[in-house]
Amino acid sequence: MIRVGVVGARGHVGSELLPILFRHPEVEVAWVTSKSAAGTPVQATCAAAPAGLDFAPASVELLARRDVDVAFLALPNGEAPAWAEVAGDVTLVDLSSDHRFDDRWVYAQPDRFRDAIVGSKRLSCPGCYATAAQLAIAPVASRARGTVCAFGVSGYSGAGTTPSERNDPEVLRDNLLPYSLVGHAHERELRRHLGLDVCFAPHVASFFRGLSCTVMIDLAEKTAAESLVAAYRDAYRGSRFVEVTDAPPRPRDLVGKHGVRVGLPAVGDDGARVVVVAALDNLLAGAASQAVRAMNLARGLDEGVGVLS
Ligand SMILES: NC(=O)c1ccc[n+]([C@@H]2O[C@H](COP(=O)([O-])OP(=O)(O)OC[C@H]3O[C@@H](n4cnc5c(N)ncnc54)[C@H](OP(=O)(O)O)[C@@H]3O)[C@@H](O)[C@H]2O)c1
């Protein structure tokens, strides 16, 4: 059994990680932390938790004991490095953006970087928008010309639990909030991990979970629509986690699902531009499920164990 700890287990992402890990046939959850609920039973918020397990205080001393094989860090951005410093040989799966630009960490997007993840002990999981956008762009990345534009709309769980305008249901009611229209962290992440110039404009909507990302890609050469369609079908043929759909996917259909849907490209009349939509559940395929897939691969297990089974 793989002994696992979860830091930030009461946040939106942590709350999705816990049921997957408690039900995972190869995992024993040793401890889970919460700053605000330390000492209270985990079962009160997660029905899959065993009786008698309480949230532990979120102190790095816990990880410094190194009594687990794997620790998931589901913390706000900026908090993970302090935990990484004391982790030693423990495999870390960091869901924040803190290590996405660090060459010592593997960028743990399993559909694109599966081989690099296998055996790695430092796994930096992609952002939720960045997951959708890169899976929408990757099949034609080598044919792109100039700047790829991405337009994202997320449910407000993407903004975490710390109260802000972006997770305030009253502000969001019948509304759409654009934010970080230039320089969003996922824009830099996409540039780095696709090797392309990407501009990304995120928005928050009034639904709780789910995300849609529309990418617009100019092509270096005019290309027949059949060839572009084939590129998408070939890229994800046989994938258990990426489904290519004829019509653009819709985020509500992906809620509660571990996989991503990428619609076949809409191709402009002149064959020089494609528009592609990808949708996913930001808390699962864009976070918790993707992180567990990465752990599975890193530990030599089948990628789908505990996620699909
Ligand atoms: N939400 C998404 O859609 C999504 C998707 C992909 C990646 N991510 C990334 O995943 C991470 C977690 O996101 P989230 O949405 O779950 O955030 P969240 O809902 O705000 O949860 C954060 C968790 O960390 C705990 N925490 C806060 N400050 C802490 C500190 N200084 N030390 C220890 N624990 C602390 C919180 O405290 P308590 O335990 O007291 O509640 C909570 O359990 C973020 O880095 C985010 O960028 C989020």
Q: What residue owns the CA closest to ligand 1's atom 22?
A: 11
How far away, in angstroms, is 233 Cα from ligand 1 center? 35
How far away, in angstroms, is 76 Cα from ligand 1 center? 4
d(CA 213, CA 21) in angstroms, rounded, equals 28
Supply the pLDDT for residue 136.
Answer: 98
| Integer angstrom CA distances of residue 68 from 31, 71, 96, 102, 121 | 9, 7, 20, 24, 13
108-125 mean pLDDT: 98
Strand partners, 243: 261
d(CA 94, CA 163) in angstroms, rounded, equals 22
Supply the pLDDT for residue 36.
Answer: 95
Atom from ligand 1 closest to the CA of residue 96: 45
Ligand 1 first shell, C-beta below 6 A: 8, 10-14, 34-36, 58, 74-77, 79, 95-96, 127-128, 157-158, 160-162, 282-283, 286-287
Task: Give the DSSP letter of residue 143.
Answer: G
Digit-coded pLDDT (tens) for 208-237? 999 999 999 999 999 999 999 999 999 999
Which H or E run includes 149?
strand 148-154
> Pocket of ligand 1, candidates 6, 10, 13: which has the most ligand atoms within 8 Å of its Cβ, to mutate?
13
> Pocket of ligand 1, candidates 6, 7, 12: which has the most ligand atoms within 8 Å of its Cβ, to mutate?
12
Q: What is the average pLDDT value for the chain, to the nearest integer? A: 97
Give the pair of three-digit tokens for residue 225.
């629509």
Atom from ligand 1 closest to the CA of residue 35: 40
Centre a 10 Å sphere on the Cβ of residue 146 and count the other Cβ atoms it contains.
11
286-301 mean pLDDT: 98
Please give the class, per CATH, of domain 2-126+286-298: alpha beta
How far away, in angstroms, is 189 Cα from ligand 1 center? 19
How many residues in the chain?
A: 309
Supply the pLDDT for residue 309.
Answer: 75
DSSP track, 55-106: PBP--HHHHHT---SEEEE---TTSHHHHHHT-TTSEEEE-SSTTTT-TTSE
Strand partners, 66: none
Spans of all domains in the chain:
2-126+286-298, 128-281
* 68: amino acid identity, one letter: V
d(CA 60, CA 52) in angstroms, rounded, equals 22
Task: Assign 144 a pLDDT band (cuts: 50, 70, 90).
Answer: very high
How far away, in angstroms, is 210 Cα from ligand 1 center? 17
Which residues in 32-62 are b (16+ Cβ under 10 Å) and which e? bbbeebeeeebeebbeebeeebbbbebeeeb
Q: What residue owns the CA closest to ligand 1's atom 33?
A: 58
Please give the class, per CATH, of domain 128-281: alpha beta
Cα 268 from chain centroid (whole Å): 30
Give the pair of three-digit tokens for residue 304.
């789908």
Tell me if 263 sits within 8 A of 247, measured CB to CB: yes
290-309 mean pLDDT: 96
d(CA 239, CA 243) in angstroms, rounded, equals 7
Q: Is 128 a catalytic residue?
A: yes
SS3 of 187, please?
helix
Which candidate, 70, 64, 97, places its Cα nearest to that of 83? 64
How far away, in angstroms, is 74 Cα from ligand 1 center? 5
Q: What residue owns the CA closest to ligand 1's atom 14?
A: 160
Which member of 46, 128, 199, 213 is catalytic? Answer: 128
Phi, psi at 110, each rounded to 5°: -65, -30
Supply the pLDDT for residue 269.
Answer: 80
- pTM, two decimal places: 0.97
Task: Assign 300 a pLDDT band (cuts: 50, 70, 90).
Answer: very high
Q: What residue owns the CA closest to ligand 1's atom 1?
A: 158
Atom from ligand 1 closest to the CA of residue 15: 16
How far away, in angstroms, is 264 Cα from ligand 1 center? 33
Which candidate, 129, 163, 177, 164, places its Cα nearest to that of 281? 129
d(CA 167, CA 263) in angstroms, rounded, equals 28
Atom from ligand 1 closest to the CA of residue 9: 43
Task: Assign 252 a pLDDT band (cuts: 50, 70, 90).
Answer: very high
Give the pair of three-digit tokens for residue 136.
């929408």
Task: Give the DSSP letter of residue 240.
Answer: S
Atom from ligand 1 closest to the CA of residue 211: 3
Which candidate, 251, 277, 273, places its Cα nearest to that of 262? 277
